[in-house]
């Protein structure tokens, strides 16, 4: 590496490239991504929540809500499966390069957005990584505009599926808020039917007679807060045109070179590619 590039690395706080490994075998195709157990657990949790809401609807004596809740959770599960199967923005490996280039390839500096960026050599994919590209060791591929690897979705979140990912959290946040509202209505009805009064005594009676409902309510509150928190975090990142990986690592010093103001940042988010399926 020449002196100029070494200076660039110091001045711009470039993230060192991971050593990686050379893999000449055909890419392994996972039916549920690299974390199938975690994804299956996430699906099981959503399914359990659906069953829970059917039970709440039964307590409310409102069978017409069975279809509504089933539709809501079908949307959530379908979106999760689509995100699991989606292409996050995988960059093709350069399989034609000689193996001797896999070690010791120099870094290069490029100009972009009025800033200089260091392109690092990815040993595994045998490419120079453009700005915002990160190699994921779970998926074993370099991903454009890498945000993070989601264990629960068993897939990377990047340029090609980030828009769907954010919309998923926003939609799920609205659903969770409505479900919590419905649960609170159920508590009110059960309390009135059981003539549970206000105050500590009333709460003890309610907890004693409706322990499962109380536990479900506490879990629903925590789940709703978690989902809304995730949604708002992504809204913040969009407003700054920043990925979660960039938020954690701060690969540039000073001002974010990709931040072009709130309006342009939101516009760029909506201009991201639509979802495409990873494996046909």
CA–CA distance, 278 with 244 (Å, rounded to integer): 22
The pLDDT value given to residue 14: 38
Indicate the pLDDT class of residue 63, thresholds 50, 70 and 90. Answer: confident
Judged against a pLDDT cut of 60, whether residue 258 lies above it is answered with: yes
Indicate the pLDDT class of residue 109, thresholds 50, 70 and 90. Answer: low
User: In this predicted model, which residue has the larger pLDDT, 122 or 108?
Assistant: 122
Neighbours of 28 (CB within 10 A): 9
Judged against a pLDDT cut of 50, whether residue 93 lies above it is answered with: yes
Judged against a pLDDT cut of 50, whether residue 134 lies above it is answered with: yes
- Written as one string, the DSSP assignment of 200-246 is HHHHHHHHHH-HHHHHHHHHHHHHHHHHHHHHHHHHHHHHHT--HHH
The pLDDT value given to residue 33: 82
- Written as one string, the DSSP assignment of 134-189 is EEETTTTEEETT--EEETTTTEEE-TTTHHHHHHHHHHHHHHHHHHHHHHHHHHHH
| In the chain, domain spans | 1-30+93-143, 36-89+148-280
pTM, 2 dp: 0.80
Dihedral angle sign, alpha carbons of residues 262, 267, 268, 274: positive
Dump pLDDT digits (tens) for 43-57.
999 999 999 999 999
Break the chain down into helix, strand, coil percent, rounded to 5: 50, 10, 35
């Amino acid at each position: 590496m020449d002196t100029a590039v070494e200076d660039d690395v110091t001045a711009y706080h470039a993230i060192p490239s991971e050593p990686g490994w050379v893999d000449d075998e055909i890419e392994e195709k996972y039916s549920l991504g690299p974390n199938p157990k975690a994804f299956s657990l996430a699906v099981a949790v959503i399914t359990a929540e659906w069953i829970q809401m059917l039970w709440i609807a039964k307590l409310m004596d409102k069978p017409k809500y069975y279809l509504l809740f089933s539709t809501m959770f079908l949307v959530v599960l379908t979106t999760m499966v689509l995100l699991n199967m989606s292409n996050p923005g995988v960059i093709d490996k350069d399989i034609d390069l000689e193996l001797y280039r896999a070690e010791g390839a120099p870094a290069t500096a490029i100009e972009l957005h009025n800033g200089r960026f260091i392109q690092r050599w990815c040993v595994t994919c045998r490419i120079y990584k453009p700005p915002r590209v990160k190699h994921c060791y779970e998926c074993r591929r370099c991903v454009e505009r890498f945000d993070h690897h989601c264990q629960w979705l068993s897939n990377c979140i990047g340029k090609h599926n980030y828009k769907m990912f954010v919309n998923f959290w926003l939609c799920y946040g609205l659903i969770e808020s409505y479900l919590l509202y419905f649960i609170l209505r159920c508590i009110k009805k059960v309390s009135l039917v059981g003539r549970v009064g206000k105050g500590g005594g009333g709460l003890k009676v309610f907890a004693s007679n409706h322990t499962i409902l109380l536990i479900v309510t506490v879990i629903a509150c925590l789940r709703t807060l978690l989902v809304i928190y995730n949604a708002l975090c992504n809204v913040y990142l969009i407003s700054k045109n920043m990925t979660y990986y960039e938020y954690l690592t701060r690969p540039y010093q000073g001002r974010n070179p990709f931040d072009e103001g709130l309006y342009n940042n939101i516009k760029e988010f909506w201009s991201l590619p639509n979802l495409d399926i990873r494996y046909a």
